Structure 1
Amino acid sequence: MNAIFLMLMGLGAMALGYFVYSKFICQKIFKVDPNFVTPAHEMSDGVDYVPTNKYVLWGHHFTSVAGAAPIIGPAIAVIWGWVPAFLWVTLGTIFFAGVHDAGAIWASNRNKAKSIGAVTGDIIGSRARSIFMIVIFLVLLMVNAVFAVVIAKQLINFPSATIPVWGAIVVALIVGQLIYRRLINLLVVSIVGVVALYGMIYIGPMMPISLPETIGALSDNEAWIILLFVYAAIASLLPVWMLLQPRDYINGIQLFIGLGLLYGAVIISGPEVVAPAFNTDVPAGTPSIVPLLFVTIACGAISGFHGLVASGTTSKQLDKEPDLRFVGYFGAIGEGSLALAAIIATTAGFATLADWQSVYHAFGQGGVGAFIRGGANILESGLGLDETMAQTLLTVMVVLFAGTTMDTGLRLQRYIFQEWGSIYNMPWMNKGSVATLLAVGSCLLLAFGAGGDGSGGLLIWPLFGTTNQLLGGLTLLVITVMLVKLGRPMIYTLAPLVFLLVMTIAGLVIQLKGFYVKEDWFLFTLDLVVLIAAIVITLECVATLTSTIKERKAAEAKE
């Protein structure tokens, strides 16, 4: 199979999904209303609630949900073969992720821009909300702690990326001022920002910057992680228009240019996919493809984290309700295209099957390293970029998106603490600075308390896929209940919901057995807690859904 056909089939299907399926879902099922006054206008405060141009908001939403996960998941899952990964990414993007992401914005928008956890309390009940918010907190804790480790490792391994990665923050601050303070045309600002960013990517290999291997009692890895959290804490407290929006917007454009270069190189070089379509000779210890494929590839097919961003920050910036189709559904298309690029880079970016097998010699291998290596080979053969420049380009792409996810993730974690403060009558926790310190403190406690060297977040990362997908299923459940109460068809959210919950609970059970065999009692206990939470919330939601359907039928009978 030539990678060109794989690319055309995937992108063509996703384009069809956006132009046809998303239009049907938003107009006929969600029934978006251009006259609906969004919370961004109703509750505008210039900090979190800010009516935003849909293109800028798309950049924020897309880059916040993208991160490194849509690269890591597919880059690991191709060990089962490229066909299963390709089908799940393509179909998952169209029928699962797009509906989930747009639906989460719609549900939050219709409930005063509340987080999906708070909406759960209003729609289903306080007990479900309490358990749901614990699951949300665990997902955010995993994302923030682990992405800090991912970024730190890439900055150590590729010091040529240091200047463009940190320089992008300066560019974003300037872009924010130009857009909101000086009212300069968005197109002009976009061009200037992207040129500046790529100029730094060009300079990066000429001026590589590394931290000393030891800084006092800290290693370079630990120092980078602390610096990243200091930055993320500051960023989470700044008004969204000042840094979060422009950083995400410029990064969104940068990603599409990067994807354009990678896909262009595929067209020019036409590499063959050397990985097997279905890998029947998987390494020893590789788990069953069902259900693990559907939790290994989360971001890029469907991800519960997207619902947190959609209801946590995106809905607070929605200018007009119809914008949610472009921001939410097309944001999912953008992530799906990134996951597709990861599949192509990790299956067609190697010269021979033997080269591919040397990387994929055990389950869990591949990941970011395989994407950068394979993608750089394609860029080198297709566009003539030298290896260092190609690796720098892809490293910056990975790190910038992991960084923007950390920005948003820490802000969302701050919201969780503030919501807990309101729910449990602890006003001191409502203060932004206090909630931010609690968010950063919990991440650092996990990173340094469990790992000792800043990598403690990796300890609970094996549970990310299942916990994250559980969150996605529960978000779909909340949306489904809302649709039933409004008397609208629920099959378009119910079908992906049932599939996701079945695969997630099966995955949790399989992981539970694995942790028991390994005598990993920490992860065994945590897995058991998540599994019990999944069952309890599911039962609560099913009961609510059933009663809602009965109430709806009774009301229709009276009419």
Structure 2
Amino acid sequence: MQSVTIVLLGLVGMLLGWLFYSKFIAEKIFGMDDRFITPAHELEDGVDYVPTNKVVLWGHHFTSVAGAAPIVGPAIAVYWGWVPAVLWVVLGTIFFAGVHDMGALWASARNKGKSMGALSESVIGKRTRSLFMVVVFLVLLMVNAVFGVVIANSFVSQPQAVFPAWAAIVVALIIGQLLKRKVPLIPLCLVGVGVLYYSIAVGSDMPLALPTEMFGLTDKANWIIILFIYAAIASLLPVWMLLQPRDFINGMQLLVGLVLLYGAVFVSMPDITAPAFNTQTAVDTPSIIPLLFVTIACGAVSGFHGIVSSGTSSKQLDKETDGRFVGYLGAVGEGCLALITLVAVSGVMLAASPEEWHEVYSHLGAGSVNAFITGGANLIQSGWGLSVEISSTLLAVMVVLFAGTTMDSGVRLQRYIIQEWGEIYQVSALRNGIIATLLAVGCCLLLAFGAGGSSGSGGMIIWPLFGSTNQILASLTLLVISVMLIKAGRPAIYTLIPMSFVLVMAFFAGVIKLGEYYQQGNWLLVGLDLIVLVVSVLVMLEAWSVIVKHKASEAAAKQD
């Protein structure tokens, strides 16, 4: 089958979801209203609560939730075959991710910008809040620790990506100042993206690298430390100064990248060499059900998105109706990235024949980001004539910048959670932004170097838990939204169905992984997996109790 057919079907499906389904959910289910005063206006402080143009906020939200995950997950899951992967990406985007992300934005904005963890207290109960925030903190810890490793590895293996990655920060700081002075957005966008792509060309000719050993640590370990120092500083700056402009420029860069990749598909029309359903999997390959649904998280549905929606994006929402544009369209953008990733790792641009494709994908986990960069660079070269070297640098920078923006937002969100704990437990020190940031970064570095030694890769030890933990968090977020809808007397079926499906798949995957960790004798993962599974069950029981009581009180009120 030609890849253009897959692309057309996927894009048309997501476009219809945006035009019709998202409009129905926003207006008829969530009841989004321009007259509602959002937290960005009610609590405006110039640092975290800042009313923001919806296009700029979309850029922040999109690049914060995207990271490298919508590339990594699909590039691994294609091992089971491109058909199940494409179906989960497209249907997941339309009926799961868009509703989840937009719903989390709506729920948080309706409650003074509270995070989903803090919000769960008022919606379900005090015990739920504590349980919920444990899962949220674990997900953030995994994301930040591992993305630091991902970026450091990319800097070491792709030194040509170093200059443009740091140049993007300088460009963002300048644009942030100009936007504050009311300079028009469109010219800034064009100039910013132009400078960014010029820096990519410079980086291709000027690779930068740290010494292989410095201060007794490897170059990768030193990059991890530098990245967390940067993330700590960035998380304390006002969102308008760096976070918003950097994410917006990265969002525009991704749009350019998507245009190049999708355009190349329509120009060269490459064939698919990957199997529709892979019948030649290795003996030890786990079952596609439920593992597919936790391997592809971002790009279909992801609990991390709920953290971003309720952590930073809801505090910048100018009008409540902007939540549809920012939340649902952000999910569509990520679905588009996941879809083109599947095409890049499934076609002749990666492997000229089915036999060569099976050599690249010899086992689950093979291919991944390198397959995307290789396949995508060849695709761009065939469609647009750009050299493979420039195309590879462009895609490598895309991965690094997305991972970096996710890491920026992730550390800021960890700070929010620690400060919320300070409020909840009346610990004044934890409410201090600098102390909370140092604790957040300290936890990440402790995991990175405490569990991983001098390599700094300790986050990779608990990363296998991310898939199931992240999807369980998505189901818990949908549960909170559903309870809000039930209490408001609105239909909750549109959130309860995706919540139930994701919960069953994620819980099942967590149980399977628990058995694997036990057999391996990996007691750290056994303990953490058990905590996540038990917490999810307790939250569900608490929510069910609230729903039953609410229904009973409604019935009693009708009888009276």
Which amino acid counterpart does residue 218 of structure 2 have in structure 1?
S
Match of 1:171 in 2: 171
Match of 1:407 in 2: 408
Distance (whole Å) between structure 2 residues aligned to residue 242 and residue 492 of structure 1:
37
Distance (whole Å) between structure 1 residues aligned to residue 137 and residue 52 of structure 2:
27
Kept after mapping to 2: 8 A contact 1:285/1:363? no
Q: Do structure 1's residue 318 and structure 2's residue 317 form an aligned pair?
A: yes
Deviation track 1:209-238 (CA, whole Å, cap 9, x = no partner) reads 111111120110001111100100000000
- Which shifted more, 346-355 or 505-514? 346-355
Query: Any residues of structure 2 matched to 1:101-116 within 5 Å, and which?
Result: 101-116=101-116
Match of 1:474 in 2: 476
Shift of 1:284: 2.1
Which amino acid counterpart does residue 347 of structure 1 have in structure 2?
S
Which amino acid counterpart does residue 93 of structure 2 have in structure 1?
T
Match of 2:505 in 1: 503
Distance (whole Å) between structure 2 residues aligned to residue 384 and residue 478 of structure 1:
49
Distance (whole Å) between structure 2 residues aligned to residue 528 and residue 119 of structure 1:
24
Query: Any residues of structure 2 matched to 1:278-427 within 5 Å, and which?
Result: 278-348=277-347, 349-350=349-350, 351-427=352-428
Which amino acid counterpart does residue 208 of structure 2 have in structure 1?
I
Which amino acid counterpart does residue 386 of structure 2 have in structure 1?
L
Shift of 1:556: 4.8
TM-score, L = length of structure 2:
0.98
**CA, structure 1 residues 550+231, in 2 after alignment: closer, same or farther (shift >3 Å)?**
same
Which amino acid counterpart does residue 479 of structure 2 have in structure 1?
L
Which amino acid counterpart does residue 389 of structure 1 have in structure 2?
I
Match of 2:130 in 1: 130
Kept after mapping to 2: 8 A contact 1:67/1:403? yes
Shift of 1:195: 0.6
Match of 1:532 among 531, 534, 545: 534
Deviation track 1:211-266 (CA, whole Å, cap 9, x = no partner) reads 11111201100011111001000000000000000000010010011011011111
Which amino acid counterpart does residue 420 of structure 1 have in structure 2?
W
Match of 2:205 in 1: 206
Match of 2:9 in 1: 9
Shift of 1:548: 2.2
Which amino acid counterpart does residue 88 of structure 2 have in structure 1?
W
- What is the CA RMSD across the aligned residues, in angstroms? 0.9
Distance (whole Å) between structure 2 residues aligned to residue 495 and residue 112 of structure 1:
27
**CA, structure 1 residues 515+104, in 2 after alignment: closer, same or farther (shift >3 Å)?**
same
TM-score, L = length of structure 1:
0.98
Deviation track 1:403-457 (CA, whole Å, cap 9, x = no partner) reads 0000000000001110111111111110000000000000000000001111100
Match of 2:494 in 1: 492
Which amino acid counterpart does residue 536 of structure 1 have in structure 2?
L
- Report the secondary structure of 1:455's partner residue: coil
Shift of 1:528: 1.3
- Count residues in correspondence: 557
Match of 1:187 in 2: 186
Distance (whole Å) between structure 2 residues aligned to residue 37 and residue 505 of structure 1:
38
Shift of 1:542: 1.7
Shift of 1:388: 1.1
Distance (whole Å) between structure 1 residues aligned to residue 553 and residue 398 of structure 2:
50
Shift of 1:547: 2.1
Distance (whole Å) between structure 2 residues aligned to residue 556 and residue 223 of structure 1:
66
Which amino acid counterpart does residue 90 of structure 1 have in structure 2?
V
**CA, structure 1 residues 357+329, in 2 after alignment: closer, same or farther (shift >3 Å)?**
same
Deviation track 1:318-343 (CA, whole Å, cap 9, x = no partner) reads 00000000000000000000111111
**CA, structure 1 residues 78+135, in 2 after alignment: closer, same or farther (shift >3 Å)?**
same
Shift of 1:355: 2.3
Distance (whole Å) between structure 1 residues aligned to residue 484 and residue 538 of structure 2:
20
Kept after mapping to 2: 8 A contact 1:172/1:243? yes
Distance (whole Å) between structure 1 residues aligned to residue 22 and residue 364 of structure 2:
35
Percent identity among equivalent residues?
62
Query: Any residues of structure 2 matched to 1:445-456 within 5 Å, and which?
Result: 445-452=446-453, 453-456=455-458
Match of 2:466 in 1: 464
Which amino acid counterpart does residue 408 of structure 1 have in structure 2?
S
Distance (whole Å) between structure 2 residues aligned to residue 290 and residue 554 of structure 1:
43
Distance (whole Å) between structure 2 residues aligned to residue 549 and residue 116 of structure 1:
23
Deviation track 1:357-384 (CA, whole Å, cap 9, x = no partner) reads 1221111222111111111111122211
Distance (whole Å) between structure 2 residues aligned to residue 150 and residue 109 of structure 1:
32
Match of 1:229 in 2: 228
Deviation track 1:443-482 (CA, whole Å, cap 9, x = no partner) reads 0000000011111000000000100001000000000000
Which amino acid counterpart does residue 72 of structure 2 have in structure 1?
I
- Report the secondary structure of 1:47's partner residue: coil
Kept after mapping to 2: 8 A contact 1:284/1:362? no
- Report the secondary structure of 2:175's partner residue: helix
Deviation track 1:90-126 (CA, whole Å, cap 9, x = no partner) reads 0000000000000000000011110000000111111
Kept after mapping to 2: 8 A contact 1:481/1:548? no
- Report the secondary structure of 2:320's partner residue: coil
Structure 1: state its 5+ residue gaps.
none
Q: Do structure 1's residue 75 and structure 2's residue 78 form an aligned pair?
A: no
Distance (whole Å) between structure 2 residues aligned to residue 512 and residue 406 of structure 1:
27
Structure 2: state its 5+ residue gaps.
none
Shift of 1:554: 3.7
Shift of 1:2: 0.5
Which amino acid counterpart does residue 457 of structure 2 have in structure 1?
S
Query: Any residues of structure 2 matched to 1:46-125 within 5 Å, and which?
Result: 46-125=46-125
Match of 1:440 in 2: 441
Match of 1:24 in 2: 24
Distance (whole Å) between structure 2 residues aligned to residue 168 and residue 155 of structure 1:
15
Distance (whole Å) between structure 1 residues aligned to residue 461 and residue 534 of structure 2:
21
Distance (whole Å) between structure 2 residues aligned to residue 556 and residue 396 of structure 1:
60
Distance (whole Å) between structure 1 residues aligned to residue 534 and residue 123 of structure 2:
21
- Which shifted more, 283-292 or 230-239? 283-292
Distance (whole Å) between structure 1 residues aligned to residue 19 and residue 318 of structure 2:
21
Shift of 1:557: 5.1
Match of 2:196 in 1: 197
Distance (whole Å) between structure 2 residues aligned to residue 324 and residue 557 of structure 1:
38
- Report the secondary structure of 2:33's partner residue: coil
Which amino acid counterpart does residue 32 of structure 2 have in structure 1?
V
